[in-house]
């Protein structure tokens, strides 16, 4: 379903990257959840997927080396690795699909390299301040969320060796998947075969390092997402205990052109709604393709900020109607 290859990160760290079997499809970059394996995206790994999909395993996780500087695991470091992967693939730009921690990375990427991001699909995550969104369905007051999350991450790091031993004896086949579907962590309508594949890879973590990644994530503060101009689709889970749906809707409201979907799921939306996610990606790609075509049409028609300024026009590009551009390109165009 996918193949792995070595990638040299921005600072020379060797990373394990992966791609699906589609070679010539539209480029899609996965900014994955924290320490999450590629099996979290079953439809994007399927041999029938029309998109060329790539991703990488975070520093120190699932075969990737730890950086020489153990503190070089901030969101900016992951974003640099994303650019290294795009460069390795020879991609000028791509649609970004992001989950959880990866949403932080995707918005960092869009902020620092807007010309490399043609569209952004944000799943169960926020651009920053992730630890402030924890435990909302459990009615934990907001001032307590960050300290509770940091405390749990430190405990996980301390008990990492014991967790590593536990994962070696816990079975992760179909019976485990069936059990997990009825715990509330993942909902019952998720495919147990997809869960089993994901869990089998997920348990290969070094959990001490996994929670080190979590503590680094806690350092990434809230981000104002209103700067983003490319097409955006935002997806939230109604009973997500790791990313408050209310906080997702709050940041979505600051992106007027974003398309927003609220799904009746948990944090594990890619496993619970793989077909819906794929449909959203198709729609997002179509929007991104249209925006790029429209930008080219505007350029050909000479419709740009400089020409507006010369004519005394104060309207931004986003306020121009498509028919305005078409009319400039084609003098015989008739409005209906």
Give the H/E segment covering residue 28: strand 27-31
Q: Mean pLDDT of successive 10-residue segments in the chain (336 residues)?
A: 94 97 96 97 96 98 96 98 98 97 98 97 96 89 94 97 92 86 90 94 94 96 95 96 94 95 96 97 94 79 56 50 52 43
- Strand 14-20 with 52-56, pairing: antiparallel
Q: What angle do CA 96, 39, 129 make, to 5 degrees?
A: 50
Do the domain assignments include residue 320?
no
Do the domain assignments include residue 26?
yes
| Residue 336 confidence (pLDDT) | 41
Residues 53 and 45: beta-carbon distance below 8 Å: yes
Per the structure, how many domains does the chain have? 1
Compute φ and ψ for 325, nearest 5 degrees: -70, -45
CATH number at residue 50: 3.40.50.1820
Do the domain assignments include residue 146?
yes
Q: What is the pTM of this model?
A: 0.89
Do the domain assignments include residue 73?
yes
Compute φ and ψ for 85, nearest 5 degrees: -70, -45
Do the domain assignments include residue 324?
no
Do the domain assignments include residue 313?
no
| Residue 319 confidence (pLDDT) | 52
Do the domain assignments include residue 97?
yes
- Full domain range(s) for residue 16: 2-292
Do the domain assignments include residue 16?
yes
């Amino acid at each position: 379903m996918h193949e792995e290859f070595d990638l040299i990160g921005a600072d020379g760290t060797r990373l394990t990257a992966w791609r699906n079997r589609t070679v010539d499809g539209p480029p899609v970059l996965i900014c994955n959840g924290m320490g999450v394996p590629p099996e979290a995206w079953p439809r994007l790994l399927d041999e029938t997927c029309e998109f060329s999909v790539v991703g990488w395993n975070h520093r120190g996780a699932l075969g990737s080396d730890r950086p020489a500087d153990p503190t070089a695991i901030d969101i900016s470091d992951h974003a640099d690795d994303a650019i290294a992967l795009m460069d390795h693939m020879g991609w000028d730009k791509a649609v970004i699909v992001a989950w959880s921690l990866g949403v932080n990375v995707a918005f960092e990427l869009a902020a620092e390299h807007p010309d490399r991001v043609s569209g952004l699909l944000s799943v169960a995550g926020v651009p920053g301040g992730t630890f402030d969104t924890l435990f909302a369905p459990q009615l934990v007051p907001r001032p307590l969320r960050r300290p509770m999350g940091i405390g749990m991450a430190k405990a996980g790091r301390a008990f990492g060796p014991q967790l590593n031993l536990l994962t070696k004896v816990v079975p992760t086949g179909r019976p485990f998947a069936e059990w997990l579907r009825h715990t509330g962590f993942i909902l019952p309508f998720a495919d147990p075969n997809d869960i089993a594949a994901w869990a089998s890879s997920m348990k290969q973590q070094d959990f001490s390092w996994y929670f080190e990644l979590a503590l680094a994530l806690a350092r990434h503060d809230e981000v104002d997402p209103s700067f983003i101009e490319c097409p955006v689709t935002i997806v939230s889970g109604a009973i997500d205990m790791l990313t408050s749906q209310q906080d997702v809707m709050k940041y979505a409201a600051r992106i007027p052109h974003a398309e927003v979907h609220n799904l009746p799921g948990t944090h594990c939306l890619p496993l619970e709604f793989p077909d819906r996610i794929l449909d959203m990606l198709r729609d997002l790609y179509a929007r991104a393709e249209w925006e790029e075509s429209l930008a080219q049409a505007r350029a050909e028609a000479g419709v740009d900020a400089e020409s507006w300024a010369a004519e005394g026009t104060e309207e931004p590009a986003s306020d121009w109607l498509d028919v305005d551009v078409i009319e400039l390109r084609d003098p015989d165009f008739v409005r209906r």
